[in-house]
Each structure stands twice: as C-alpha cells, then as structure tokens.
Amino acid sequence: MKEIGLHGRGGQGVVMAGELLANIYFKEGYEVQFMPSYGAERRGSPSNAYVRIDNKRILYRYSIKAPDEIIVLNVTLLPNLLLKEGGIALLNSADTSNLKKSDKVKFFVVDANRIALECKLGTPAIPLVNTALLGAYCKVRGDFSFDTLKKVYEEKIGKRAYLNIEAAEKAYESVREV
C-alpha cells in the first residue's frame, strides 16, 4: 500500500489534484481511497488531500499522518509536513538552495509556477500548478502512464484540458532530483 499527501494553499487546486491522481490510479487498475481536507476553506489557507493506493482491497479507514510520498504545491508548507523515512517529496520550486541531499528522503523539484504561467493556467498571484505537478509525479514514480493522465484530464477538465496536458508534459520533461 502507498499513501500520498498533496499539500498547498486554497486556490492552487490541491483537492482537484488529489481527485485527478485518484482517478489516474483507478484507471490503471489500483484500488484507491481519496481523502480531501479543506481546513479553513478559504483562498490562501493550507489545504491538503490524500490518496491511498494498493493492488488489493484497502481495508484501512484511518487518516494519513505521515505519507510515503508528498506532492507540495507551495513550499512554504514544507517545514510542517511529515513524511515516512525513505519517502519521496516532489516540490514546486525554482530554488533548491535550502534543500540538502538526504539518505532519508528523495527530493525532486520542478518550477511548476513558471510552467503554469507559460500555459496560461491561473494568474501570477495564484498560478494553478496542480496539473503540472502531476505530470512531474508521473515521471518521478513511473507507476502510471502519461496516456492515462491525459485521458483523465480530458474527462475531468473538459475543453481546457489541452492547457493542463501541455503543462503536465513540460513538468514531466523538466522535473529533476536534488
């Protein structure tokens, strides 16, 4: 079983990213649980979503405190996040100067803000980075196909899916390990 945490701020599309990720894994044949957590439910406040996947039926119903992997839409939240030892952290960041190599966590970064703005997703104040980060996550993990990601985007997002797919492709190509 794998547990994934998605963390950002209200308005960045954290809950939508969790729902998309759950749908992607479901289409790939996994058993899935999706748990959004809205907090204060206002723009700018911390927002989280969790996805639990497995190849067999998931019987657990408890909340996820320290996931195996995290996708961080806003790095200001990183100091408050828990992650299992040996985990993976995918960060939306152009600056890696504060990140240090670790034996306990693998860090991957992609400048999803830049990519979102290039693809006309969101505004400079609130770029919508969620779909770009899932493209990067696809490359980092390699346990679902990019074609499945595209199909889910087309089904769930509709006529503007092409912008999100373009952002996901750019993030897929530019994600790197720190």
% residues pLDDT > 70 (the chain): 97
Return the domain boundaries, the chain. 2-177
Phi/psi-derived region of residue 38, left when phi > 0, alpha when psi is between -120 and 50, beta in every other case: alpha
Pairing of strands 105-110, 176-177: antiparallel
Provide the 8-state DSSP code for 82.
-
pLDDT tens per residue, range 105-163: 999 999 999 999 999 999 998 899 999 999 999 999 999 999 999 999 999 999 999 99
Provide the 8-state DSSP code for 78.
G
Of 171, 85, 86, 83, give the one whose Cα is nearest residue 127.
Answer: 171
Count of other CB atoms within 10 angstroms of residue 3: 21
Can you list the pairs that 60-64 forms with residues at least 24 positions away whose Cβ atoms lie under 8 Å? 60/1, 60/33, 63/35, 64/3, 64/5, 64/35
User: What is the model's pLDDT at position 168?
Assistant: 98
* 18 pLDDT more than 90: yes
pLDDT tens per residue, range 41-71: 667 788 899 999 999 999 988 889 899 999 9
Provide the 8-state DSSP code for 159.
G
Q: What is the pTM of this model?
A: 0.94
| pLDDT confidence tier of residue 38, bands split at 50, 70 and 90 | low
Strand stretches in 69-155, DSSP E? 69-72, 87-92, 105-110
pLDDT tens per residue, range 139-155: 999 999 999 999 999 99
Topology of the domain comprising 2-177: Pyruvate-ferredoxin Oxidoreductase; domain 3 (3.40.920)
